[in-house]
Amino acid sequence: MSTPRVLSPATPNVFALVDGNSFYCSCERVFNPSLNNQPVIVLSNNDGCAVSRSDEAKALGIKMGDPLHLIKDIVKRNRVRVYSSNYALYGDLSARMMSTLAQFTPEMEVYSIDEAFLSLDGFGNRDLSEYAREIRRVVRRDTGIPTAIGIGPTKVLAKVANRVAKKNNRNDGVLNLCDRATQEEVLHTLPVEDVWGIGARSAAKLNHVGVRTAKQLRDANLDEMQRLLTIVGRRIVLELRGESCLALEMIQEDRKQIVCSKSFGRPVYTLAELQEAVANYVTRACEKLRRQDGICHTMSVFIQTNRFKDGPQYYNSGMIKMDAGTSSTIRLSAAANRVLEQIFREGIEYKKAGVIFSDIRPSASVQFSLFDDQGQHSQDAKVMKVMDAINARMGRNTLKIGACGNTSPSEAPAWEMQAKMRTPCYTTRWADLLKVK
């Protein structure tokens, strides 16, 4: 991610933010139209919390992040349709949505799985709202995903516009905030915590000094806002004023950090089980690392108890640094095992573990110390290449390291997360292809 640069005020920018409505729920609906007009929620990993809610589910009072077990009455009473998350499906539909959007502008930033910023610079001779409505129509037609679109002279204002367009459902899911009069009207009624980049902590600080609406934030003293909210807050104020500080980032930069951590389906007590779980997490993280052709020089491993449970808590982590970076699953898994042996304590009910790769550099930058065996490193790379090729062709985990365990589907290990309500991978697995009778 490059540092945000200040654009010349001489070039008027126009940003459109396109955002998939209740994205995961909408993906489920694409392949199951009987879910239309029904309350639907999609759960986080391990079937824990509601992370996506259809409008009907929101209307029932289900909040973002509500734990399933605390809303089970609402779910039951209203026959809410509940799904485990199916990232293979969502990722695939996301890619379709992005390629559809790319037809509408030469400059686009894929911001998240369900959002993209489009540059509409130089489209000024068109009716931008009409153009946005056309984008919505085509995305809906070609992917089945409903969207909302906000337009503004800065990213922050485009975000504001998108939020209001979605909330009010006015103008057919489109709002153009390019003109000053509309900005005045919208910012006046928008709570400051609804501004992109203002979270709960910052909102509390702002309320404390009497800033409650987006408009008040926009008109506040710049230096005072910077003292309160650092340089980040200063940029937000400027963006609200229509001064673009955040540029479109069209190139997806390589990850600086790769994390793989998961809660266990059931409590885990033994070192052997932790090692098996972590070997699987290292495997995932290494796959991501090699996909960006990187090597990592620092790895952290952590294990912890259930933080929501009463009783003694335990958290421990260990870090290992490597002079010569590596992306070898075998090496990193062995290293993770050594860390686990050091941080493991007997007699504890573990609920979660994870690995964090950091200090990631391009593989071309690999530096060998005097004591490293260069031959071994190039041998590792060859083995990984073969493993990746086989798994790409035959499916994930066809070839894996022994430390990952050998589990039969009938007897899932305790550490394996729950996903009891997962829909088929309609678009990414031949066996799951939808059958039309």
Partner DNA sequence: TCTGGGGTCCTAGGACCC
Q: Does 416 bind DNA (CB under 7 A)?
A: no
Q: Are strands 147-152 and 174-176 parallel, antiparallel or unpaired?
A: parallel
The residue within the footprint of DNA, chosen from 115, 239, 276, 287 (CB under 7 A), is: 115
Count the alpha carbons within 13 Å of 277 in the hemisphere toward its beta carbon: 31
Q: Does 49 bind DNA (CB under 7 A)?
A: yes
Q: Is 316 in the site for DNA (CB under 7 A)?
A: no
Task: Provide the minimum distance between the beta carbon of 123 and DNA in the complex, in angstroms, as a whole number.
Answer: 24
In this chain, which of 6, 209, 222, 231 binds DNA, going by CB under 7 A? 231
| 260 lies in the binding site for DNA (CB under 7 A) | yes
Candidate list 209, 222, 232, 412; residue touching DNA; CB under 7 A: 232
Rounded to whole angstroms, the Cα distance separating 289 from 310 reads 37
What binding mask, one character per residue, do residues 344-373 give for DNA by CB under 7 A, x or -?
A: -------xx-x----x--------------
Segment interacting with DNA, rule: CB under 7 A, options 45-53, 331-339, 387-395, 402-410: 45-53
Q: Which stretch binds DNA (CB under 7 A): 32-40, 62-70, 271-279, 363-371?
A: 62-70
Enter the tokens of residue 263: 């809660």
Q: Stretches 133-141, 171-179, 194-202, 371-379: which one binds DNA (CB under 7 A)?
A: 194-202
Question: Which residues make beta-bridge pairs with 302?
Answer: 317, 354
Q: How far is the CB of 10 from DNA (least distance, A)?
A: 24
Q: Which of 60, 88, 113, 414 binds DNA (CB under 7 A)?
A: 113
Reduced to 3 states (helix: H, G, I; strand: E, B; else coil), residue 66 is coil
d(CA 312, CA 159): 43
Of residues 343, 356, 335, 347, the one with CA closest to residue 268 = 347
Residue 262 CB, nearest distance to DNA (Å)?
3
**195: enclosing H helix or E strand:** none
CB of 324 to DNA, least distance (A): 16
> What does each C-alpha distance from 241 to 155, 215, 222, 366, 428 come to in angstroms?
11, 9, 11, 46, 44
Q: Which of 28, 56, 114, 276 binds DNA (CB under 7 A)?
A: 114
> What is the strand order of the sheet 15-20 is part of?
108-112, 115-119, 15-20, 147-152, 174-176
Classify 100 as helix, strand or coil: helix
The one among 21, 182, 216, 306 contacting DNA by CB under 7 A: 306
Closest by alpha carbon to 236, among 207, 199, 201, 200?
A: 199
Q: Binding of DNA at residue 263 (CB under 7 A)?
A: yes
Q: Is residue 67 part of the contact set for DNA (CB under 7 A)? A: yes
Residue with tokens 């729920």: 25
The answer to whether the beta carbons of residues 128 and 164 sit under 8 Å apart is no
d(CA 373, CA 431): 44
Give min distance, CB of 316 to DNA, in A: 13
| 15 burial via Cβ count (<10 Å: 0-12, 13-18, 19+) | buried
Supply the minimum distance, in Å, between the C-beta of residue 43 and DNA.
8
How near is the Cβ of 380 to DNA at its closest, in Å? 22
CA–CA distance, 59 with 52 (Å, rounded to integer): 13
**Where along the sequence are the contacts to DNA (CB under 7 A)?**
1-4, 44-46, 48-49, 51, 65, 67-70, 111-115, 159, 195-203, 230-232, 253, 255-263, 266-267, 284, 288, 306, 308-309, 319, 351-352, 354, 359, 417
